[in-house]
Amino acid sequence: MKSMWLNGGPGDSVSGARTEVRDPANGEILDTVPAARAEDVDVFVAAAAKAFPRWSGSVANERAERLHQIATRMREHQDALIELLTREEGKPRVENEEEIEWSANTFDYYAELGRHEVGQVLPPGASTQFNFTLKEPYGVVACITPWNYPIMLLAWKLAPALAAGNTCVVKPSELTPLSSLYLAEHCLADLPPGVVNVLTGTGPEAGEPLVAHPSVAAIAFTGSLATGQRIASLAAPQMKKLHLELGGKDPMVIAEDAEPEKAARALAYSALLNCGQVCTSTERVYIPRSRASEFTEALVEHVRSLRLGHGLQAGTDIGPMIDERFLAKVEAHVEEATAQGARLLTGGQRPESPTGGAFYVPAVLSGVDHSMRIMREETFGPAIPLMEYDAFDEAIALANDSQFGLGASLLSSDPQRIKRFFQGVQAGTIWINDPLTDNYAGPFGGMRLSGGSRELGQEGLDEFRTTKHVHWDFSTEPKDFWYPYD
């Protein structure tokens, strides 16, 4: 029975209520965690607020040492974190190895970036003046994280927020709270009490009171568009700082000059990583009509070779989906598309699983169009819909035909096509021949309904700092433009 994390140690819910955490590959109960309520939120926010003056007043070098220490602890506990992530979230072990490496490196990155600068000196308007800006922390930050990358997407928020001098209350997904609690107990325990607190529970019972709490100054959230809109509506009356990374419907355009076998491998990876449960998963694919059969055949052959299984089993390429209700959404999108005329080329069914886990054989469909939900709404699962195009400009227009704008990918070696693509496609990240690869120094985030915030890079740090302008005149003499006017 796990406890929450409060003031540098275990903390339990006032109500005593608990929820189960299950392995999505077999339904096994892994542990139980407290089900926090509004009264618990008050306690956790108060702890973070109390810790804020001391933490924000510490020098950047001290905070940098603390963040480096977190990264070191993560590497010391990486085996336990990787296994726990695999059991509670489902993706293969190799993908969780990458998640922990990325997360530890994120703390190291922001440890150094956090002591680089706190503002800038500006050109003064007169010789007696000194103008400069200060970038200061907001205060208590609510970090609300999703289940698909529980540690990495927490690190993308926690590391810059702490480097900037904020204190945090973390609310992980109720589906994957165990890895966040382990991180707190084993990797964050050396932080001063109250700097980071981890609260477990559902969105309505714990998340909403956290968002609406008057002592929470900023909210960092990764998740669905609907939840992001709900958060925005709750935060609006208090004009809180919002840092929202929302849904996506990312396109991939395969150009005529791409090689079919290489394109098949790139596409399968970008569409099926973590069983397609990635906000930047490729969910719309546009292939040239002149070579459609080549690309389609290569993709179907490659997808059929991929192996489903428990993430801890050697040789597993694709694990289970996180939960039955998410699997049902994928099934509905595929079934509706085929009913409207799309052709199912492979997959698209639940395999015979002795464990009863939430497995789904990846579906590849052709003959889709933008009237179908599978090309408009976020599917968030292992489905690859293929749509043919004639001219490259048509492919760019199709890529832009979405309410989302998180990322977009192109497979091509033609520099003219590449330039037209990254200039013409409206998305926060453009990948050319290397889909879904991030860069610690490269800002990540979306446009339109994907949200306008940025994680990683200098931009990721500035999301957690507010800017103050200081106008200092050395002279105390009255100004000639003061009253009375001549």
Question: Catalytic site residues?
Answer: 245, 279
Do 365 and 385 meet the contact criterion of CB atoms below 8 Å apart? yes
Residue 132 and residue 470 in contact, taking contact as beta carbons nearer than 8 Å: yes
Nearest to residue 162, comparing CAs of 187, 140, 193? Answer: 140
* Neighbouring-strand partners of residue 221: 144, 244
In the DSSP assignment, the letter for residue 485 is P
For 8, the token pair is 């540098």
As a 3-state breakdown, the chain gives helix, strand, coil percent values, each rounded to 5, of: 40, 20, 40
Query: Is 106 within 8 Å of 451 (Cβ atoms)?
Result: no
H-state helical runs in 121-204: 152-163, 178-187
Sign of CA dihedral 440, 177, 406, 434: positive
* Pairing mode of beta strands 407-411, 250-254: parallel
Alpha-carbon distance of 416 to 410, in angstroms, equals: 12
260-272 and 292-304 helices cross at what angle (nearest 10)?
A: 50
- What gap in Å lies between CA 247 and CA 253, rounded to an integer? 20
Alpha-carbon Rg for the chain, nearest whole angstrom, is: 24
**Gap between the Cα atoms of 249 and 226, Å rounded:** 14
Specify which residues 467 forms β-bridges with: 135
Give the N- to C-terminal CA distance of the chain in Å, as an integer.
Answer: 77
Q: Burial, 66: exposed, middle or buried (Cβ in 10 Å; 0-12, 13-18, 19+)?
A: buried
